[in-house]
Amino acid sequence: MNDEKQILIVGSANVDMVVKSERIPERGETVLGGVFSQHQGGKGANQAMAAKTLFNNTAFCAGLGDDNIGREYLSYLKGKGADVSLVKVFKGAHTGVALITVDRDGKNIITVAPGANMLLSPDDMRAIDFGKFSHAAFQLENAVETVFEGLKLAKAAGCVTVLTPAPARPLDDSILKFIDYIIPNEIEILQIRQGCASMEEAANSLIENGVGNVIVTLGERGCALFNKNGKKHYPTYRVTPVDTVGAGDCFTGALLAGFKRFGDIGTAIKFASAAAALKTTKFGAQSYAELGDVLNMMERERP
Ligand code: RIB
């Protein structure tokens, strides 16, 4: 399945400052780390670049600061051929920055200073012609009122809407009917549905209150899809991870690309699982495998 309409990702663009370390420090502890590196990141940009790499026809809407890292980010996105017509540069703001430690198993901790990401406004959403897009994805590294306005407008325009609820916060029930797919990890689903004792209870509560589909990402255990038909588990592909930063974003961006390429949710999930597994084998949030490698992985192993 393929059509003329673009995928739209509305979301954050951060510069990731990453220290590779044997282990993640305890609170109050200093750990002598290893190599430092700086990469383009941010949940929105990571999703957009995954969708662009694996489908191509993708637009990105974000807020950057008018600083050197913001200018570098914009020319990086343009250099990758991304549609940046909806990227705004905010005067006097700094570009989002993420401080990240990655341990020997590829696991991470992340703190984000969102800067210009928070300046993207509901008015900026009202300025978008959502009718141009088949799918619209959001995360929670922008102001929540902006994300909610975007979800409502995208849904009204007929887009398939996707929310990655990270960083997690409780979600008001009134927004749930505007979400076709919500993609939390197993920690986030309990944070957005406080009071629920299990992933299953939280997923069912989201569906009862209007969400179309819940996909809980489970790391090396794959993911679980919940909808009105019940629960289905999808295992993932076996790899040796070196860096899991951006793997969840890769999953979402690739899922959107998979919807456009294959049309059905099961194949799209397998495609996204293969792309996300391959991402973890490389360092850097946007170190994505090319389409051919993702398709090969799907052929080689069939979870
Ligand atoms: O999901 C990974 C991303 O979270 C990183 O790229 C970082 O920028 C933060 O937004």
Per-residue pLDDT band for 105 (boundaries 50, 70, 90) equals confident
In the block, which residue shows the tokens 């549609």?
83
Q: Which atom of ligand 1 is nearest to the CA of 249?
A: 1
- What are the pLDDT digits (tens) for 135-168? 999 999 999 999 999 999 999 999 999 999 999 9
Residue written as token pair 């999808």: 234
In this prediction, residue 106 carries a pLDDT of 85
Q: What pTM value is reported for the model?
A: 0.95
Give how far the C-alpha of residue 99 lies from the chain's centroid of Cα atoms, to the nearest Å: 17
Residue 124 has pLDDT above 90, yes or no: yes
Cβ(124) to ligand 1 under 6 A? no
Q: What is the C-alpha to C-alpha distance for residues 45 and 47, in angstroms, rounded to an integer?
A: 5
Lowest mean pLDDT among 33-37, 67-71, 174-178, 203-207: 33-37
* 257 CA → ligand 1 middle, Å: 20
**Spacing, Cα 43 to ligand 1 middle (Å):** 5
| Alpha-carbon span 130 to 44, nearest angstrom | 17
Beta bridge partners of 7: 58, 135
pLDDT band at 301 (very low <50, low <70, confident <90, very high): low
State which ligand 1 atom lies nearest to the alpha carbon of 14: 8
The CA 253 to ligand 1 mean position distance, Å, reads 13
Q: For ligand 1, is residue 243 a contact (CB within 6 Å)?
A: no
* pLDDT tens-place string over residues 256-294: 999 999 999 999 999 999 999 999 999 999 999 999 999
Confidence (pLDDT) at 166:
97
* DSSP 8-state assignment for residue 131: G
> What pLDDT is attached to residue 119?
98
What is the pLDDT confidence band of residue 39, given thresholds at 50, 70 and 90?
very high
CA-nearest of 102, 44, 87 to 248 is 44
DSSP code of residue 226: E
> How many A from CA of 1 to the centre of ligand 1?
30
Count CA within 13 A, CB hemisphere, residue 12. 31
Distance from the CA of 256 to the center of ligand 1, in angstroms?
Answer: 18
On whether the CB atoms of residues 30 and 113 are closer than 8 A, the answer is no
Q: Is 299 helix (H, G, I), strand (E, B) or coil?
A: helix
Q: Whose CA is nearest to atom 7 of ligand 1?
A: 42
Q: Are 245 and 102 in contact (CB under 8 A)?
A: yes
- Beta carbons of 168 and 191 less than 8 angstroms apart: yes
Taking the CA of residue 16 as reference, the ligand 1 atom at the shortest distance is 8
- Which residue puts its alpha carbon closest to atom 10 of ligand 1? 42
Q: Is the distance from the beta carbon of residue 58 to the nearest atom of ligand 1 less than 6 Å?
A: no
What residues does each domain of the chain span? 6-25+34-300
Whether the bond into 184 is cis, omega within 30 of 0: no
Atom of ligand 1 nearest to the CA of 166: 1
Element holding 189 (H helix, E strand): helix 188-192
With CA atoms as reference, report the closest residue to 94 among 63, 123, 116.
Answer: 116
Which whole number is the average pLDDT over 177-203? 97
SS3 103: coil
* Residues taking part in catalysis: 249
Mean pLDDT of the chain: 95
6-25+34-300 is classed CATH 3.40.1790.10: no
